[in-house]
């Protein structure tokens, strides 16, 4: 009797969990689709606080209900590549730790913001699905980084298309992590991007970044932005990152 009751409770708990997850997923997709409607350019209107506050616990790089099938599929493909150790998944915590360490090391004259005033990194100040949704993978031996990126409706430039500034932001983030992981903390000296095709809002792109050359403190990198099926080349960039001179004050 007791066993029967326990089994019933387990099944019903499972049912409510699955239903909850399904509703959450539908809500996120609807939010994104709603925001794409022509008359709702500012979807934050009814969405409560638009900022996603700093959290060291949640890993925003993991799939959430706003992720499309394409993004999930690529994410799982890359997670598989991590199994033999050639690629490594970069968690949100690792990015925040790097950023925190960078400011401790190099910007000693800058007063750090209090946690409560401090929204997470620029790319994380959006509700799920409305801004930058991405995950990054690093290949140490090949000095490469891959960023799987789905840009949401708050990143719109031309109607229905991603703003070029949002694209270059994501490219810059990806390769700044690559150059930092390659030679230590670096800053962007220049980034020269060519936009070849517009990127539709909500589509999934793959950013590939690689180190081309290192000359003392200078790291030269190139990157490309492709569609998930690799058929469309959206953008290409070349850039220079300079390793921070930690003896000098940087402010
Ligand atoms: C803080 C690091 C954070 C890293 C965190 C990574 C973890 C990631 C985690 C979470 C993701 C968040 C990631 C956010 C990151 C976003 C990245 C950005 O948006 S950075 C903001 C925009 N960039 C600036 O504001 C730079 C402003 N510029 C400067 O501060 C300096 O100019 C700097 C540091 C770039 C170089 O200054 P010098 O005083 O250290 O070095 P000098 O002597 O001027 O240059 C060194 C060599 O580089 C050449 N160089 C410098 N700038 C150049 C340029 N624009 N074009 C060509 N050559 C240049 C020079 O000619 C020199 O070359 P020769 O050694 O003589 O051969």
User: Where are the domains positioned within the chain?
Assistant: 2-243
Supply the pTM of this predicted model.
0.81
Most ligand 1 atoms within 8 A of CB, residue of 60, 166, 187, 246 to mutate: 187
Strands 233-243 and 186-195: antiparallel
| Catalytic site includes residue 172 | yes
Confidence at residue 121, expressed as pLDDT on a 0 to 100 scale: 76
Which parts of the chain register pLDDT below 50?
Answer: 1, 5, 9, 17, 26, 35-55, 249-251
CA–centroid distance, 104 to ligand 1, in Å, is 17
Taking the C-alpha atoms of residue 130 and residue 40, their distance in angstroms, rounded to an integer, is 13
Confidence at residue 40, expressed as pLDDT on a 0 to 100 scale: 37
Confidence at residue 98, expressed as pLDDT on a 0 to 100 scale: 85
Q: What is the dihedral of CA 82, 103, 176, 143, to 10 degrees?
A: -50
Confidence at residue 218, expressed as pLDDT on a 0 to 100 scale: 97
Q: What is the pLDDT of residues 65-105, one digit of tens each?
A: 999 999 999 999 999 999 999 999 999 889 888 887 877 76
Confidence at residue 12, expressed as pLDDT on a 0 to 100 scale: 55
CB 217 less than 6 A from any atom of ligand 1: yes
Angle, vertex CA 58, rays to CA 53 and CA 59, nearest 5: 115
Confidence at residue 52, expressed as pLDDT on a 0 to 100 scale: 44
Q: Whose CA is nearest to atom 28 of ligand 1?
A: 189
CB 90 less than 6 A from any atom of ligand 1: no
Confidence at residue 9, expressed as pLDDT on a 0 to 100 scale: 47
Where on the phi/psi map is residue 230: left (φ > 0), alpha (ψ -120 to 50), or beta?
left
Confidence at residue 140, expressed as pLDDT on a 0 to 100 scale: 97
CA–centroid distance, 186 to ligand 1, in Å, is 6
Confidence at residue 111, expressed as pLDDT on a 0 to 100 scale: 64
ipTM surpassing 0.90:
yes
Q: Which numeric CATH code is attached to 2-243?
A: 3.10.129.10
Confidence at residue 135, expressed as pLDDT on a 0 to 100 scale: 97
Map tokens 């004050």 to a residue.
249
């Amino acid at each position: 009797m007791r066993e029967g009751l326990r089994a019933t409770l387990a099944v019903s708990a499972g049912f409510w969990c699955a239903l909850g997850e399904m509703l959450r997923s539908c809500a996120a997709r609807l939010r994104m689709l709603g925001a794409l409607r022509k008359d709702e350019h500012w979807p934050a209107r009814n969405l409560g606080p638009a900022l996603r506050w700093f959290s060291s616990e949640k890993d925003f790089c993991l799939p959430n209900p706003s992720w499309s099938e394409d993004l999930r599929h690529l994410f799982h493909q890359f997670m598989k590549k991590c199994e033999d150790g050639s690629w490594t998944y970069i968690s949100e915590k690792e990015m925040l730790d790097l950023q925190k360490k960078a400011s401790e090391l190099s910007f000693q004259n800058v007063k750090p913001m209090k946690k409560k005033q401090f929204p997470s990194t620029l790319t994380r100040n959006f509700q799920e699905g409305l801004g930058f949704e991405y995950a990054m993978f690093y290949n140490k031996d090949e000095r490469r980084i891959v960023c799987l990126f789905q840009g949401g409706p708050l990143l719109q430039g031309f109607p229905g298309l991603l703003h070029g500034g949002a694209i270059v932001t994501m490219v810059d983030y990806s390769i700044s992590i690559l150059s930092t992981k390659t030679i230590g903390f670096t800053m962007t000296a220049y980034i020269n991007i060519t936009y070849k095709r517009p990127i539709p809002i909500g589509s999934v792109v793959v950013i590939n970044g690689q180190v081309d050359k290192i000359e003392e403190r200078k790291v030269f990198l190139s990157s490309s932005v492709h569609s998930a099926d690799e058929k469309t080349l959206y953008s290409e960039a070349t850039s220079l990152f300079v390793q921070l001179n930690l003896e000098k004050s940087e402010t």
